[in-house]
């Protein structure tokens, strides 16, 4: 299928954020002329009236819903109620009023955190409902998974074209490097760069380093989302990832090598590890969407580290 982006008006919630900024760039590369990025100061997407106003003003053909309230393990533990409510209410109301306003297609972005705590590896989309998510991020994961239920229910009752995508952990330039709320890759990068600059020879990391994770370079994720928007109109969720996993301990060693940090890591085993393993089955994305990640983890890390170091040198604010 070919989509004529020049004739489409697209709302990208979270379009000024980390992933969203790359999605907007991909749309621009494809010739999309009308891209609306609602900003929180004008549109509080938890508020019904703000969503109605957004749709009345913009009348979009497509909505790509990327906005989320999200953070690492620590942030999830501190804000379970907020992470559940804000994410659930945004998704539910955005999709409901998209239906009412005759939006042609709604692209809902879920999270790998929705998978059950104990899931056979690699995670297959059919396993989404075979257990409760890992406790530290269950409220966030379940709130995002409600969009899958809503999308399938709306398709069945109203014929509404909503699709649901599940990206694995993302990283890349423009990521959140705030140590209070960041995910593991930007946190380790920042700690390594700062330790090297200050001459420290020791860095403390959470857990014992044994859990494995799969990471997807942000530009690859954006390409996967656009391909799915162009090519997929089905009811089934689709994983977006690389299909490869690495232990946090090996990840830290790789980042240490790429940043030039020559010190050692101290593992704080009083802190939680999170889910023991994460690796996606990405065969559905390749079959139905034609998506395959282009950047290896090492190449993606090199690009991310180079961006972060350059941003610091330029004196740009890269989170507190």
- What is the distance in angstroms between the CA of the first residue and the CA of the last residue of the chain? 44
d(CA 11, CA 51): 11
3-state secondary structure of 149: helix
Would you call 246 helix, strand, or coil by DSSP? Answer: strand
CA–CA dist 250, 279 (Å, integer):
15
Asked, as a colleague might, if the bond just before 122 is cis with ω within 30 of 0, I would say yes
**Which uninterrupted H or E stretch holds 162?**
strand 162-167
Continuous H helices in 79-137: 80-100
Known active-site residue 85:
no
Catalytic residue, candidates 43, 55, 115, 140: 140
* Cβ atoms of residues 201 and 264 within 8 Å: yes
Find out whether 297 and 188 touch, Cβ atoms under 8 Å: no
- For the packed helices 218-231 and 18-29, what is the interaxial angle rounded to 10 degrees? 50
Q: How distant, in Å, are the alpha carbons of 24, 220, 245 from that of 21?
A: 5, 13, 26
Nearest to 39 by CA among 26, 59, 53: 53
Please list the active-site residues: 140
């Amino acid at each position: 299928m070919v989509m004529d982006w020049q004739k489409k008006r697209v709302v990208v919630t979270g379009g000024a954020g980390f992933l969203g900024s790359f999605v907007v760039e991909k749309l621009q590369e494809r010739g999309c002329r009308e891209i609306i990025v609602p900003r929180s100061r004008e549109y509080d997407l938890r508020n019904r009236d703000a969503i109605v106003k957004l749709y009345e003003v913009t009348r979009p053909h497509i909505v790509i819903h990327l906005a989320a309230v999200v953070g690492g393990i620590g942030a999830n533990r501190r804000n379970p109620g907020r992470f559940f409510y804000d994410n659930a209410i945004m998704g539910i109301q955005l999709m409901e009023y998209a239906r009412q306003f005759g939006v042609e297609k709604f692209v809902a972005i879920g999270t790998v955190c929705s998978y059950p705590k104990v899931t056979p590896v690699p995670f297959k989309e059919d396993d989404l409902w075979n257990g409760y998510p890992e406790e530290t991020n269950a409220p966030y994961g379940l709130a995002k998974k409600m969009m899958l239920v809503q999308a399938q229910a709306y398709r069945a009752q109203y014929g509404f074209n909503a699709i649901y995508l599940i990206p694995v952990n993302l990283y890349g330039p423009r990521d959140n490097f705030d140590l209070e709320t960041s995910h593991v890759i930007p946190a380790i990068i920042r700690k390594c760069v700062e330790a090297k600059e200050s001459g420290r020879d020791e860095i403390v990391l959470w857990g014992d380093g044994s859990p494995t994770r799969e990471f997807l370079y942000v530009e690859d994720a954006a390409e996967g989302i656009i391909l799915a928007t162009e090519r997929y109109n089905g009811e089934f969720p689709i994983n977006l990832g690389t299909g490869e996993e690495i232990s946090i301990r090996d990840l830290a060693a790789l980042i240490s090598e790429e940043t030039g940090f020559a010190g050692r890591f101290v593992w704080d085993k009083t802190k939680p590890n999170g889910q023991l393993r994460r690796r996606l089955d990405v065969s559905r994305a390749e079959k139905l969407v034609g998506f395959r990640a282009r950047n290896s983890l090492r190449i993606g890390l090199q690009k991310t580290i180079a961006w972060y170091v350059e941003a610091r040198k330029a004196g740009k604010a890269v989170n507190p």
